[in-house]
Structure 1
């Protein structure tokens, strides 16, 4: 729980940014070949102490990464995987803010559920919180402060979501692997071991904050015991799959970017990265509205209405132009 004075959504606060309307549209982003039963969890809890004093007044995942709130980026990633039923988990203080920003999901043609994380007891806790909602479905989990960018990302995500058994995680080469869960590989490039924040890292491949699991994940999550630091570790959950030979590790290579925006330097770096891509390539990064439109979750008219709600912003202008140009004839 964040220290300091509580943040309250007052009676006279601004209206929510969502409205009920859905539609369909042909898209350039690859769509899943068949509907997937997989659900998604977006974990946006924690106290954000590494970003004090900014997070004394706001949730870390609501801080801006260039022109969008941080939570938009992992949300877009889950949507690109073809996932339409998503649970947002956050603290008791912060959850009303997420509800106000995201609503019921209809603005993006998806369904949102909300749950409170009473205390930050580790990433696998998310599955325990969502137990009754999961209903034996496979589940993906995205950390709310992670940003992944790659060409053809949707195809890789949908492949992971469609895998009938086991788990899939994504690894990225970093200079400071001791800060993360680190995966090592054998001579055939199969995952050999995963170690959480090792003093002597066995490789430079860090496991990112995006995980895909089959419907046994809840059973495994219940078996995870608190580590020496008193938390349930996602590495221990992944090791259950690894030990039975059912952990697939997809390596993000050149042309890909993974940013963990959990400290001031990485938050700035993430903002600069998004600005550079959008300014030089003319494409949006981490826009749930754009993803929803390209995936066929919402219509061009719906996207135009969404763009109008963005006011006189560059984001609103780009979304409106997208709906006007690519929506023609559909």
Structure 2
């Protein structure tokens, strides 16, 4: 499976913070925002990852992540000159995806909860047994603000609407999407919406009409955080801070994830910890390596 992180856009809802830096490079407590979606793909076992961003911001992502080799990854980069819809990621990333299944995660979405890696692996297995598309739903109090999905008792997606006035469920569609090998062709066949964008909802609707779209409920006890506003960015940082300080573990520490997923060994992990300054992050990475 190939992975894509969509980290484009202008981040206008976070002005003036985003006047000189990409939204996805802003800190969420103790690490750059992009570490969180990157760790999501890593937990799914994805090692070939394409980062899509603006021509202005791509050099900063390259400086931060490099080739990914130190983490046992292969990270490449592509430009999205203008934000023309989420589904455009598959058109831009067509060569990267090739004939593989793919996972798209939005660069400002944070996922955290028990058994997440296992859930991801089971969902990916579903792509090999009849599922063409796997979406992840999250219960919200105000579904009118989101794309909303409805599933039958077997988990098959039976309706999907964008910001409906009368929602048929309270399940918001989160910014994590798994697809089979058809997705590039489907994305290319989608027509721009009234706002001139290639909508991911239209891609998902094609799979739904095929009867091959599944909605996985993240459910109670799971955290899905969107960091697109000043308030939500602060809430996400507070969530990470409280859990890390109380439990003594780091959320989305990509070095630890790489070690536990078997992408790198303990010696490599320890060396990665040594490159950081005395922020506490360095000590944590080296301790994880020493006790692994």
Please list the CA deviations of residues 16-58 of structure 1 after superposition, one character each: whole Å capped at 9, or x if unmatched: xxxxxxxxxxxxxxxxxxxxxx100000001101101000110
Please list the CA deviations of residues 107-142 of structure 1 after superposition, one character each: whole Å capped at 9, or x if unmatched: 211100100001100000001001122211111000
> For the Cα contact (< 8 Å) 2:110–2:225, is it kept in 1?
yes
Please list the CA deviations of residues 215-253 of structure 1 after superposition, one character each: whole Å capped at 9, or x if unmatched: 000011011111122211111101111111101111011
Question: Is structure 2 residue 70 aligned with structure 1 residue 107?
Answer: yes
Aligned to 1:226, what secondary structure does the other structure show?
Answer: coil
TM-score by length of 2: 0.96
Please list the CA deviations of residues 154-177 of structure 1 after superposition, one character each: whole Å capped at 9, or x if unmatched: 011112223214111100011222
After TM superposition, what 4+ stretches of structure 1 lie above 6 angstroms from structure 2? none
> For the Cα contact (< 8 Å) 2:155–2:215, is it kept in 1?
no
> 1 or 2, which has the higher helix percentage?
2
Aligned to 2:290, what secondary structure does the other structure show?
Answer: helix
Where does residue 132 of structure 1 map in the other structure? Answer: 95
Match for residue 55 of structure 2 among 88, 92, 117? 92
Please list the CA deviations of residues 257-281 of structure 1 after superposition, one character each: whole Å capped at 9, or x if unmatched: 0001011111011000111111111
Where does residue 268 of structure 2 map in the other structure? Answer: 302
Q: CA deviation at 1:189?
A: 5.0
Task: State how far apart, in whole Å, the 1-side matches of 2:193 and 2:158 are.
Answer: 21
Task: State how far apart, in whole Å, the 2-side matches of 1:210 and 1:84 are.
Answer: 16
Question: Is structure 2 residue 161 aligned with structure 1 residue 195?
Answer: yes
Higher relative contact order (CA 8 A, sep 6+): 1
Where does residue 253 of structure 2 map in the other structure? Answer: 287
> For the Cα contact (< 8 Å) 2:100–2:181, is it kept in 1?
yes
Where does residue 151 of structure 2 map in the other structure? Answer: 185
Where does residue 180 of structure 2 map in the other structure? Answer: 214
TM-score by length of 1: 0.85
Counting matched residue pairs gives 289
> For the Cα contact (< 8 Å) 1:39–1:84, is it kept in 2?
yes
Task: State how far apart, in whole Å, the 1-side matches of 2:259 and 2:108 are.
Answer: 24
Task: State how far apart, in whole Å, the 1-side matches of 2:145 and 2:274 are.
Answer: 42
Task: State how far apart, in whole Å, the 2-side matches of 1:310 and 1:254 are.
Answer: 36
Report the RMSD for the aligned CA atoms in angstroms.
Answer: 1.1
Where does residue 110 of structure 2 map in the other structure? Answer: 147
Say if 1:295 and 1:186 are closer, same or farther in 2 by CA, change over 3 A: closer
Where does residue 276 of structure 1 map in the other structure? Answer: 242
Task: State how far apart, in whole Å, the 2-side matches of 1:71 and 1:83 are.
Answer: 15
Task: State how far apart, in whole Å, the 2-side matches of 1:126 and 1:192 are.
Answer: 25
Q: CA deviation at 1:199?
A: 2.3
Where does residue 13 of structure 2 map in the other structure? Answer: 50
Task: State how far apart, in whole Å, the 1-side matches of 2:118 and 2:153 are.
Answer: 27
Using the TM superposition, name which of 81-90 and 314-323 deviates more: 314-323
> For the Cα contact (< 8 Å) 1:140–1:161, is it kept in 2?
no
Where does residue 246 of structure 1 map in the other structure? Answer: 212
Task: State how far apart, in whole Å, the 2-side matches of 1:78 and 1:321 are.
Answer: 24
Match for residue 221 of structure 2 among 249, 252, 255? 255
Please list the CA deviations of residues 271-314 of structure 1 after superposition, one character each: whole Å capped at 9, or x if unmatched: 00111111111221111111000011111111111111121112
